[in-house]
Amino acid sequence: MDPRGRWQQIGWSLPWLLFQFFPVADLVTTDRPLATRVVAGAGLLVFTVVYLDVFRRSFTSCGIQPTLSRLAVVAALGVGLAVWMGPSWAGLMIYVSAASSAALPQRRVWPAVLAAAAVCTAVVAADGMFASLFILPVMCLLTAFAMRGTRHLISVNTELAAAREELARNAVAEERLRFARDLHDLLGHSLSLIALKSELAGRLAEADPARARTEMADVEAAARRALAEVRDAVSGYRQVSCAQALTEARSALSGAGIAVRVPTRVPVLPGPVDAALGWVVREATTNVLRHSGARTVTVSLADDGAEAVLTVTDDGRGPADDSEPGSGLAGLSERVGALGGRLTGGAGHDGGYELRAVLPLVPAAAPDTVPEAVAR
């Protein structure tokens, strides 16, 4: 598992550790036998470690039974320490409420939370601290509400991320199927013709060499036509107009629940420039779906008569500090550079990620090869 993900999951539990100030202060300042302090301190340490582990397991696929066993340890230690050590330790019931809200199924959460609040109320009332009755038990309930909302938010975000990845995979699979169908339609007739004429030429090689040579000439011509058709198909497949790419981007991003703003009009651009900008839009769309976690994407296209400037920005997590450009962006840079343009990518002015392509409207040269665009 990614260590960063593990700490993010544990991080949801850390704010509640502020309430340990009271039992720690009581342990240090209250005059008690040394053995009592050592046992209570060890119990508090075990309580905290198991509490954090409950949160880690609650947001992973570690299984409900191991999580429930650890929750039972948290509840037992919390109740035991609160009853034994007094009202300064009653705040441990807040931790029990938070852990119960994170680990238990919906139908069991509130009975457990109400039980923790009742124990907290009893401990505080038994010591005569009636003013605290309006604070600690209420905090048990409020903590439970906060953790249920947090758990729901994490669940929804996880489902959204899975949906985005599925959309990206489906888009790739559908495009591969379309291309496979196109190649089958193009090559089926030509290869069948080549096979038949080659078989005929083989039979005529000795009986009628002149006729065999004619048939082999036809085979050569058919092969050259098939090669030209494949080249045309691949060129058409790999070249995409900017307008077409914007339409595809709007459809893919909107389907993933991402708000999209694109130009209402695409100016008439030279063919190589239009195709290069189309691939920039496709690459940016792929990166947003796979990596960014963005909720809004904005595409702008400006044409001042000398240069075309395409900018794609999102409000996602932005580039990592130590990240290196992937092969997709490297391929785009080669494509744009071959036309005399430049491609830059990095953090946007307001956060997120910005990909910017600037291309002269009179390109330096058209690239002979088209590098594959792979997500960064």
pLDDT, tens only, 106-126: 788 888 888 888 888 888 888
Does residue 373 fall inside a structural domain? no
Residue 323: its pLDDT value, please?
54
Q: Which of 109-113, 174-178, 233-237, 362-366 has the lowest mean pLDDT?
A: 362-366
Distance separating alpha carbons of residues 157 and 163, to the nearest angstrom:
10
Boundary residue ending a domain (128, 158, 188): 158
Same domain, residue pair 287 and 197:
no
Burial of 348: CB neighbours in 10 Å, binned 0-12, 13-18, 19+: buried
Question: Looking at the predicted structure, is the pLDDT value of residue 141 above 70?
Answer: yes
Q: What CATH number corresponds to the domain at position 213? A: 1.20.5.1930
Whose CA is closest to 179, among 225, 241, 240, 242? Answer: 240
Considering its fold, how many domains does the chain have in total?
Answer: 3
Task: Give Cα separations from 24 to 37, 97, 98, 130, 277 (angstroms).
Answer: 10, 20, 19, 22, 62
Same domain, residue pair 151 and 7:
yes
Same domain, residue pair 96 and 80:
yes
Q: What CATH number corresponds to the domain at position 322? A: 3.30.565.10
Same domain, residue pair 106 and 121:
yes
DSSP helix/strand/coil, 353: strand
pLDDT, tens only, 248-306: 888 777 767 789 899 888 888 888 898 889 888 888 887 887 777 788 999 999 888 88
Does residue 36 fall inside a structural domain? yes
150 or 307, which is more confident: 307
Q: Which range marks the domain in which residue 176 is found?
A: 168-238
DSSP state of 89: G
Distance separating alpha carbons of residues 33 and 8, to the nearest angstrom:
39
Same domain, residue pair 255 and 284:
yes
pLDDT, tens only, 314-347: 888 777 654 555 556 777 888 888 889 999 988 8
